Structure 1
Amino acid sequence: MTASVVVVGSANMDLVVATPTLPRPGETVLGESFTTVPGGKGANQAVAAARAGARCHFLGAVGLDAFGDELKGCLATAGVELDGLRRVVGPSGVALIAVDAAAENLIVVAPGANAQFTVLDAVDRELIESCDVLLCQLEIPLDTVAQAAAAARAGQTAFILNAAPARPLSAGLLALVDVLVVNQTEAAVLAGLDGGRDASRADNVPELLAGLLAAVPRVVLTLGAAGVAYADRDGTRLEVGAPPVAAVDTTAAGDAFTGAFAVAWAQGRPVEEALRWACAAGAACAQHWGASTSLPLRPDIDALYERAYQPQP
């Protein structure tokens, strides 16, 4: 049976500039190529889930502008079901992205229509209650995330929260989370630790996991090219390395990972297998340029998963 995933989140048009180096504060650098690519963490994760094989519904908002038309078209082409997509007066959300020669990036988001996505109606709640997994991020109003989480709890739907971008969250919202997916900086903010450069230290991982397990039952801590760490309140601790690839653009790699992980979780896969499969999705994504355009299809994920994690004859 096909896994069902509902994504409640943002849709943005990404305005992407390739540059040899990322600018420092106050610095201007000359860029190279420029492109517009449909994105937004919610829309990216919905496309990722659909391409990974789920029946995926997206609940979100876009503006009555050309970007809104393009965002809607991108989601529909990927097979995402859009009965919960709102068209609202005003501009669609945009993200300003710079990507350097090492595939590192800087991102600034202007929410636009996403900020107007404030209410879930009865049809939205019924859809969430009937699906296998609800997946949310934090580029939409927190109250909307809370409404979605409450609907998931009412329907005994698993709630996966990708707490990005980093922001403090209430204990009430965290109590509804089944699986928290964060990077080290986001983890540090939620755990009340130093969110500066020390948050990315490898020896900081146990402290981050312990701090988060005080609030949620399961944590997936993404570590970039190093893979992921997982911990839960039952005492399970896992470290999964990412497949080594030649990265071109890491902009949507985290969204590819999270969308694929939601599908694997909805399918009931063992957690280590789910993490490996999601790591393969993130690595496959990083080999291509752009956000939604780089999200891998299920055969590509399966192929990289088999090469990276399955014993070879």
Structure 2
Amino acid sequence: MNARPDIVCIGSVLWDIIGRSASAMRVGSDVPGRISRLPGGVALNIAMALARFGLRPALLSAVGRDAEGDDLVSACAALNLDTGYIYRSDDLPTDRYMAIEGANGLIAAIADAHSLESAGDKILRPLGDGRLGTADDPFAGTVALDGNLTQALLEQIATDPALARADLRVAPASPGKAERLLPFLTHPRAVLYVNLEEAGLLVQDRFDSAAQAAEALVTRGAARALVTDGGETAAEAVAGAPTLERKPPEVLVTRVTGAGDTFMAAHIAAELAGADRAGALARALTAAADYVSGDTPL
């Protein structure tokens, strides 16, 4: 692709290996189901959703020059994603994520994003070498950033002159990596997308509702925060404005991996299309509900 991307997605691009069963599961369960290998990773999930909403996303990540990496880049290109900025490593294998899902939700997951972490700031080169911007002429578009990056790299991104004009949309990769987003908690141009547990980890507290969590993030310095709580009411808080709350549509849950990424992508797409705060939140919740119900294609 030669056209300048509408949005840059920075973070994990990997293979999702997902086992799904229609049965409720617990530790030690051995049940029939289906196992699939699909393009995934937080940044890639967001990019795929953005492409479904008609945008042109570019990926900044690390992918190995192994057979799995070649397959992954080809799959991304077939989904109309710009893969030309991906750092391809001869020495690092392509990352993978493995999850088990039952009728009662996510049972367990392991994220192997060690190659992305090892690549470090090599993945950011297009933002400084003129392909997407430079320190003197920073990228001024929207950036979707995921927490699979190292703490050091996230801290670098938060103060990088090449991103001094960017609209930063930030999400953790998982609750276990939520605290990596602390450099963006007081960032003046960062929008945080977290779930209730992740919000609590960021501010070292516990909350009974998404609204409480979103307002606490803003009180701690966040310019803007969106907090989801599964099928319960979600909220958006902005410094100096009323907090918005909205309950997502009720649907039969058939999958959960990628739901938060779909929510974030739909919200970004809605705002880039001109939606107001309430409209963007509603569209994001509907898109996430469609996704978990299976109505949105993978």
> What range describes the TM-score normalised by the shorter chain of this pair?
0.7 to 0.9
Q: Which string of whole-angstrom CA distances, capped at 9 and with x for unpartnered residues, describes residues 11-56 of structure 1? A: 12111112323332xx352342222111111111111112212121
Q: Which string of whole-angstrom CA distances, capped at 9 and with x for unpartnered residues, describes residues 203-232 of structure 1? A: 343442232111311110012123521111
Q: Aligned pair 1:238/2:244, yes or no?
A: yes
Aligned mate of 2:192, from 161, 180, 183: 180
2:77 corresponds in structure 1 to: 76
Give the C-alpha shift of residue 157 in structure 1.
1.7
Q: Aligned pair 1:115/2:120, yes or no?
A: no
Q: Is the 8 A contact 1:135 1:160 kept in 2?
A: yes
1:36 corresponds in structure 2 to: 37
Alpha-carbon distance in structure 2 between the residues aligned to 1:143 and 1:268: 34
Q: Is the 8 A contact 2:154 2:180 kept in 1?
A: no
Q: Aligned pair 1:226/2:228, yes or no?
A: no
Residue ranges of structure 1 left out of the alignment (5+ in a row): 296-313
Report the residue type matching 1:175 in the other structure: T
2:263 corresponds in structure 1 to: 257
1:189 corresponds in structure 2 to: 201
Q: Is the 8 A contact 1:6 1:57 kept in 2?
A: yes
Alpha-carbon distance in structure 2 between the residues aligned to 1:102 and 1:171: 31
Give the C-alpha shift of residue 104 in structure 1.
3.8
Q: Aligned pair 1:10/2:12, yes or no?
A: yes
- Give secondary structure in 1 for the equivalent of 2:63: strand
Alpha-carbon distance in structure 2 between the residues aligned to 1:59 and 1:34: 28
Q: Aligned pair 1:21/2:24, yes or no?
A: yes
2:62 corresponds in structure 1 to: 61
Alpha-carbon distance in structure 2 between the residues aligned to 1:152 and 1:137: 19
Give the C-alpha shift of residue 103 in structure 1.
4.3
Q: Which string of whole-angstrom CA distances, capped at 9 and with x for unpartnered residues, describes residues 229-279 of structure 1? A: 111111321112222323211211111111121222333421111111111
1:210 corresponds in structure 2 to: 215
Report the residue type matching 2:174 in the other structure: P
- Give secondary structure in 2 for the equivalent of 1:168: helix
In 2 relative to 1, CA 111–187 (structure 1 residues): closer, same or farther, beyond 3 Å?
same
Residue ranges of structure 2 left out of the alignment (5+ in a row): none
- Give secondary structure in 1 for the equivalent of 2:80: coil
In 2 relative to 1, CA 240–99 (structure 1 residues): closer, same or farther, beyond 3 Å?
same
In 2 relative to 1, CA 148–56 (structure 1 residues): closer, same or farther, beyond 3 Å?
farther
Report the residue type matching 2:270 in the other structure: A
Alpha-carbon distance in structure 1 between the residues aligned to 2:209 and 2:230: 15
What is the TM-score with the length of structure 1 in the denominator?
0.81
Q: Which string of whole-angstrom CA distances, capped at 9 and with x for unpartnered residues, describes residues 78-130 of structure 1? A: 21111221121232111111010244443211113212231155532452633
Alpha-carbon distance in structure 2 between the residues aligned to 1:94 and 1:111: 7
255-264 vs 39-48, greater mean Cα deviation? 255-264
What is the TM-score with the length of structure 2 in the denominator?
0.84
Instruction: Name the count of aligned residue pairs.
Output: 282
Report the residue type matching 2:24 in the other structure: T
In 2 relative to 1, CA 280–3 (structure 1 residues): closer, same or farther, beyond 3 Å?
farther
- Give secondary structure in 2 for the equivalent of 1:67: helix
Q: Is the 8 A contact 2:232 2:248 kept in 1?
A: yes
Q: Which string of whole-angstrom CA distances, capped at 9 and with x for unpartnered residues, describes residues 145-171 of structure 1? A: 333343478542211111232332475
Q: Aligned pair 1:147/2:163, yes or no?
A: no
Alpha-carbon distance in structure 2 between the residues aligned to 1:233 and 1:217: 6
Report the residue type matching 1:74 in the other structure: A
- Give secondary structure in 2 for the equivalent of 1:215: coil
Coordinate RMSD, CA, aligned: 2.5
Alpha-carbon distance in structure 2 between the residues aligned to 1:268 and 1:13: 33
In 2 relative to 1, CA 48–71 (structure 1 residues): closer, same or farther, beyond 3 Å?
same
